[in-house]
């Protein structure tokens, strides 16, 4: 199935995965959050080819996740890539990946602690109910069609209505 | 840079992305949460080749995210793939992707509402402080080295200490 089918899937998980489900996209966004925003910095810290990096940056700019800004360095105009508001809103995705990795892929404990500047506590990701505030797991969730669902029901990943 | 470098990166985001940063891994996990766990069901709903699906399922089993269970159908033994506890803990990652997609990739509103079976409220993902409980954004976070960080400091993605 081509990526374009996933992009049209009637599921916000599938659409987001179609956009970001590539190891480079997410680590480039991680670098942007860490203040590593210039093409040369990204290339040297990621060990990625110039062509691959250009491609992924162009996709992230087209998706409105990063904005391209010129700056002058040694009299040459270069570019840096800053997170837009839309990009900033991806922080919970990175933190949810981090929480899982800390638990399952970091046998000696977390590499980094993401602490609250206010009180020094460690950040956590919680799935909660927007009404009653209860902490939720997958077992507590009942998926129901939302306002964006087409009248004929969901269009499955394979392109047929399920 | 080969994937194996990302897997060894001293960052739980990079390690998790190395494992799951592929569009198929995350949609297969999504299907498992939706109760679509049999090879044939996965193949028909995802429109994925048998070879690609086998490869991704084997990787998810090796990573301890899915467990392979035999079942008998028309006198033939087949297999289904169930989420392990470790796999169940990926639910906040999917929900964080869903929240962002609902906001930015679903112009007519959410396709699905993930409601709380208890009270009917809609599930939300929150980044909060584990100590004081404040809601946090990226701007509120100060990253500090954790117990799993090697003494010489972080090993950058390019394999050199940064």
pLDDT digits (tens, 9 = 90+) for B30-42: 999 999 999 999 9
Chain B residues within 8 A of A14 when measuring between CB atoms: 27, 30
- Residue-wise burial string across A31-53, b where 16 or more C-beta atoms lie within 10 A, e elsewhere: bbbeebbbbeebbbbbebeeeeb
Using 50, 70 and 90 to split pLDDT, how confident is the model at B73?
A: confident
Largest CA distance in chain A: 59
Least confidently predicted of A1-10, A22-31, A121-130: A1-10
User: What pLDDT, in 10s, does the model give residues A128-143?
Assistant: 999 999 999 999 999 9
Using 50, 70 and 90 to split pLDDT, how confident is the model at A156?
A: low
* Residue A114 to residue B64, Cβ atoms within 8 A: no
pLDDT of residue A143: 95
Q: What residue in A sits closest to B45 (Cα-Cα)?
A: A158
pLDDT of residue A162: 43
pLDDT of residue A33: 96
Mean pLDDT, chain A, integer: 91
Chain A interface test: which of B1, B9, B16, B49 (most A C-beta within 10 Å): B16
Nearest to B116 among A94, A126, A132 (CB): A132
Q: What pTM, to 2 d.p., does this model score? A: 0.92
Host H or E run for residue B62? helix B50-62
* Residue B159 to residue A47, Cβ atoms within 8 A: yes
Host H or E run for residue B83? strand B76-83
pLDDT of residue B162: 43
Nearest to A33 among B20, B138, B145 (CB): B138
* Residue B158 to residue A130, Cβ atoms within 8 A: no
């Amino acid at each position: 199935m081509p990526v374009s089918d996933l992009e049209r899937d009637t599921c916000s998980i599938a659409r987001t995965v179609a956009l970001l489900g590539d190891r480079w996209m997410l680590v480039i966004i991680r670098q942007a959050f860490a203040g590593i925003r210039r093409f040369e910095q990204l290339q040297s810290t990621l060990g990625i080819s110039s062509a691959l990096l250009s491609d992924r940056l162009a996709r992230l700019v087209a998706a409105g996740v990063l904005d391209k800004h010129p700056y002058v360095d040694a009299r040459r105009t270069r570019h840096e890539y800053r997170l837009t508001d839309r990009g900033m809103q991806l922080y919970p995705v990175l933190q949810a990946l981090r929480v899982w990795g800390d638990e399952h892929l970091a046998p000696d404990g977390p590499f980094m602690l993401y602490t609250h500047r206010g009180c020094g506590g460690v950040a956590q990701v919680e799935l909660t109910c927007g009404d009653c505030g209860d902490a939720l797991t997958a077992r507590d969730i009942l998926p129901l069609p939302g306002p964006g669902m087409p009248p004929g029901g969901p269009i499955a990943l394979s392109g047929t209505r399920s």
